[in-house]
Amino acid sequence: MGYNKNEEFKKIILEGMLHILQTDLGYTKLKTANEVNNASSVHKGKAFLKYYLYNFFIKLNDVDDDAIEEGLLDICTTDGKNDKGCDFILIDGSDVYVIQSKYGYSGREYIDSLIAFPDNVMSEYFYKTANNKLKSFISEIKKIQHPNFKLIYLTSERINDDDKNLYLDKNHLFNNIELIIKDFPELRQDKKTIDSSGELPPETVKFILGQEDVQVLNELGSEHPTILITQKGSKLKQLYLRNDCMERLFNLNIRSWLGRNAVNKAMEETIKNEPEHFFYYNNGITGICESFDLSDDESYLTCNKLQIINGAQTVTTIAKCQNDANLSKVKVLFRIISAGKYGKSNHLCEEIVTNNNNQTIIQVSDFRSNDNIQIQIERKFKDCKLKYRLQYPFTTDLLYKRKRMQSVRGNKYVTMKDLGKCYYSAFYEPHTLNESIKKMWDNSDSGLYNTVFGDNEQILSDEQFYKLLGSYYIMEYIKLKIPKYKMDENKEDIYSEKFKYHILWGIVKLLKKKYSDEEISNTILRRMIMRGAYISQDESEEKEKLFYSYFKKVVKIIDKEIKKIQDSKKSKDEPFVIRNYQRDSKFTNILDVEFESVEIDDLKELL
């Protein structure tokens, strides 16, 4: 039997669902992917949704995965009685993600109810008849001045192309609503996109220049030859869809595809209604390569290791267009610069990438990945030859993942988000980044990027590095110790489980109460990073017990305060929504008073 890509991808989905069914939903007797269908339809649906969220959603959208991780089934997921057809909602700033998920079925009526959701949230009847979880989301959405709805219909089946296009065409009717259909073919394409992110650039790309404009810019000099060409939209689509291209084309582009934002919608409108005018409305594409060769008759251009460093939105929007007839009428200007060998010593490459992407502040992590401070952090990880100290024996390499790239199996990676969110939550406050992670990537005066990482000219000190990585380690420790605490206290659930960043902040607050800033960063956190002290029983069981007492004290305080709030809500017959307190500065202030009231003598001696 020949190789079947569809069957192979189905197997990947089933294996992912099997793992979730086994670990999260109690199906320990299931052993193979073929047995997934033995689970109940409800649990199969939940496993499929969760598989999508963790393996696709967080990788393709600039959202905080902690918003999913911290209470997937009882905070962010509204599936259940009176859920109004919403299986998942996530609010990130002004963006409202709503997912309707169907495993094994793809009925059009569910798409219709999803499209109606933005209008329905304004209905008093809709609110009154919704369950309490959904009510809390509706209340939050109503507070957003200009919400942008991203409606995702997710199905494991294939939707008829005519039906799909009929619904997607409705996107042109709305300014603040984007309908996204993720059926089986779309998921398979997304898997290829994700897998190609961070891989090496395509070795060679050949542009066919028959009936295309070509202009070599000879007056610029010979050091970095530059050429201008035009390309049909249909050719650009073919280029992107090559197996060795896709996201590989953008690995030096600090902006990955931003989704169907207002600019991309305008491009779609032009392709649909005025394809012959696309050239005049579009800024074009800029690419760099290590070298290029123009044939003597100018019939083709061969580029070595081509990278599109400006125009990812243009190329990806064209590649996602279904109307190939119109794409053949689209012309795009393509500027290609021969920038020399890629590498740290190639200052020109770095400056071209930076200056071709600084038109606006993009609040996404990719925009910050080439910053000098991020490169310093990455170098510090390598220079210190760090090992992951929560996995004994300490042989796993700990590396910094500052940009999109493929992870090497066997290594432990720390992302910019991991480091930044843990540090800010530990040493400042825990609620702001729970509201929206995008604030951390904003380097304007109102953003938090410079607060977290420092400005781009700053030299990374050892003390700052210990605080950054130390706060990450404490968070990893918290995740490991919550199950132990529940077992010790004989509790199935604890409120503070949903407040991991508050626990992190609380532990650091108590450390600050007991020790000087110098002792915390250069002694406690340094030992933690270099040896696993305080967090690893294998390094020192006694010191780990002492540190656990800080964790335990903080958890008890948080649980006590949440219990007070819950009892108060219950007495007033009001819904208690944990998510609201994760993001609430008033709740942080309540905890602050409690932590300040802890006596220094009640805190165990760590040094």
Residue 607 lies in a domain: no
Q: Which of 131, 158, 191 is the last residue of a domain?
A: 191
Phi and psi at 362, nearest 5°, equal -100, 115
Report the Cα 541 to chain-centroid distance in Å.
36
In the block, tokens 């109102």 appear at: 446
Q: Strand locations in 437-576, DSSP E?
A: none
Whether the CA torsion 346, 350, 353, 359 is positive or negative: it is negative
Task: Tell me, yes or no, whether 202 and 128 share the same domain.
Answer: no
Task: Tell me, yes or no, whether 214 and 172 share the same domain.
Answer: no
d(CA 265, CA 175): 9
Tell me if 39 sits within 8 A of 25, measured CB to CB. yes
More confident residue, 79 or 391: 391
Q: Which of 134, 157, 191 is the last residue of a domain?
A: 191
Residue 50 lies in a domain: yes
Tell me if 472 sits within 8 A of 400, measured CB to CB. no
Q: Which 3-state string (H, E, C) describes 144-167? A: CCCCEEEEEEEECCCCCHHHHHHH
pLDDT of residue 257: 41
pLDDT of residue 198: 54
d(CA 143, CA 378): 40
**CB atoms inside a 10 Å sphere around CB 577:** 17
- From the list 224, 222, 221, 239, the residue with the least C-alpha distance to 308 is 239
Residue 393 lies in a domain: yes
pLDDT band at 529 (very low <50, low <70, confident <90, very high): very high
d(CA 268, CA 402): 32
- From the list 249, 460, 258, 250, the residue with the least C-alpha distance to 371 is 460
d(CA 344, CA 261): 33
Task: Tell me, yes or no, whether 321 and 448 share the same domain.
Answer: no
pLDDT band at 61 (very low <50, low <70, confident <90, very high): confident
Task: Tell me, yes or no, whether 203 and 163 share the same domain.
Answer: no
pLDDT band at 254 (very low <50, low <70, confident <90, very high): very low
d(CA 154, CA 599): 52
Bond prior to 393 in cis (omega within 30° of 0): yes
d(CA 518, CA 500): 25
**CB atoms inside a 10 Å sphere around CB 72:** 17
Phi and psi at 286, nearest 5°, equal -115, 130
SS3 100: strand
Residue 480 lies in a domain: yes
**What integer is the mean pLDDT of 366-387?**
86
* Residue range of the domain that includes 307: 198-360
Task: Tell me, yes or no, whether 167 and 208 share the same domain.
Answer: no
pLDDT of residue 72: 41
- From the list 348, 331, 352, the residue with the least C-alpha distance to 340 is 348
Q: What is the DSSP letter of 397?
A: B
Task: Tell me, yes or no, whether 42 and 134 share the same domain.
Answer: yes
Task: Tell me, yes or no, whether 294 and 389 share the same domain.
Answer: no
Tell me if 87 sits within 8 A of 49, measured CB to CB. yes
Task: Tell me, yes or no, whether 433 and 519 share the same domain.
Answer: yes
Of 345-349, 416-420, 560-564, 600-604, the least confident:
345-349
Q: What is the pLDDT of residues 69-83, one digit of tens each?
A: 543 434 344 444 455
Residue 519 lies in a domain: yes
pLDDT at 292 over 90: yes
Residue 367 lies in a domain: no
DSSP code string of 210-226: TTS-EEE-GGG-SSS-E
CATH number at residue 32: 3.40.91
- Bridge partners of residue 304, in order along the sequence: 204, 291
Structure tokens at 502: 């508050």
One-letter amino acid identity for 186?
Answer: E
Structure tokens at 320: 């996602």
The pTM assigned to this predicted structure is 0.66
**What integer is the mean pLDDT of 108-126?**
86
Task: Tell me, yes or no, whether 335 and 407 share the same domain.
Answer: no
Residue 147 lies in a domain: yes
Tell me if 66 sits within 8 A of 421, measured CB to CB. yes
SS3 177: strand
Cβ-based burial of 167 (10 A; exposed 0-12, middle 13-18, buried ≥19): middle
pLDDT of residue 352: 65
Q: What is the DSSP letter of 197?
A: T
Task: Tell me, yes or no, whether 507 and 596 share the same domain.
Answer: yes
d(CA 504, CA 477): 10
Task: Tell me, yes or no, whether 318 and 423 share the same domain.
Answer: no
Q: What is the pLDDT of residues 154-190, one digit of tens each?
A: 999 999 888 888 888 777 777 788 888 999 998 988 8
d(CA 491, CA 500): 17
Q: Which of 339, 360, 381 is the last residue of a domain?
A: 360
- Bridge partners of residue 398, in order along the sequence: 412
Task: Tell me, yes or no, whether 143 and 249 share the same domain.
Answer: no
Residue 365 lies in a domain: no
d(CA 376, CA 360): 25
Q: What is the pLDDT of residues 405-418, one digit of tens each?
A: 556 677 899 999 99
Q: How many structural domains is the chain composed of?
A: 3
Start-to-end CA distance of the chain, whole Å, equals 66
**What integer is the mean pLDDT of 430-435?**
88
SS3 440: helix
pLDDT at 430 over 90: yes
pLDDT of residue 356: 58
